[in-house]
A = this chain, B = another copy of it.
Amino acid sequence: MSDEFIKQEMNVTGEGFLPGLAIDTVIFGFHDTHLKVLLLTYKNTGLFALPGGFIHQDEDVNEAARRVLFSRTGLTNIFLEQFYVFGDKSRHDTAPLKTIMTARGFIPGNDHWLLKRFVSIGYYALVDFTKAIPTPDSISDSCDWFSLDSLPTLMQDHRQIVDKALQTLQASLDQKLIGFNLLPENFTMGDLQCLYETILNKKLIRTAFQRKMLSMGILERVAKKWTGGAHKAPYLYRFIAER
């Protein structure tokens, strides 16, 4: 779904767009030990969905994903990555799209391009949710953060898409250095551990975590400024710039 939807609704053959191909983005918001997901609600339907969109004929697929992310959050230069293609034939389900269009007073013909089988490319992003400005698209009522542990029922296979995105995020936490986008320039080992614990949804042992992080060669310790209680303040770290 996207701001382009109205144009596409009238454009029954889908001219100007790649046929049968969509993007769904799982936008994880992190702040202060909480992990949330951005969802849209469609007008007069009660349907919840991931932000998504279609790809213009003259647009790269990754570019379309960045456009969707920007449209829904106002953010650019964000970690945004493909993680899986959802291409099972069983995901073809015209009911929710008919509901959305009908609720808007538009009765689509059965050969409307939006009712054909779509393959969706899943992307995930991780943003500081205090910095995002959630913005509904033209056919949705609202665009809001929902806690990962209390998501409403999502349309089509969107719940499966969220779960797969979370698994990918958890599995690639070290490799992707996702914290780079999410932590302030200088942070304590405790801040970093808190980020990991929130994403992995489990407690980590402080000493083992610290040892692992330091052994990865990605952190440098920031020289401590002398203050009265300096010996009590924790060390500050930052990511080594080249990474």
Contacts and interface: CB of A to CB of B under 8 A. Distances in A.
Interface in A200-227: none
A174 to B, nearest CB: 11
A216 to B, nearest CB: 14
Contact of A121 (B60, B87, B88): B87
B85 A117 contact: no
Chain multiplicity (copies): 2
A171 interface: yes
Interface string A149-174: 00000000000000000000001000
A108 interface: no
A129 B177 CA distance: 36
A84 B82 CA distance: 7
Interface centre among A55, A87, A89, A121 (most CB of B within 10 A): A87
Given A61-B85, A61-B119, 17 more contacts: A18-B117, A18-B119, A19-B19, A19-B20, A20-B21, A55-B87, A55-B119, A57-B117, A59-B89, A60-B89, A61-B88, A62-B88, A82-B85, A85-B85, A85-B121, A87-B121, A171-B175
Interface of A: 18-21, 55, 57-62, 82, 84-85, 87-90, 117, 119, 121, 171, 175
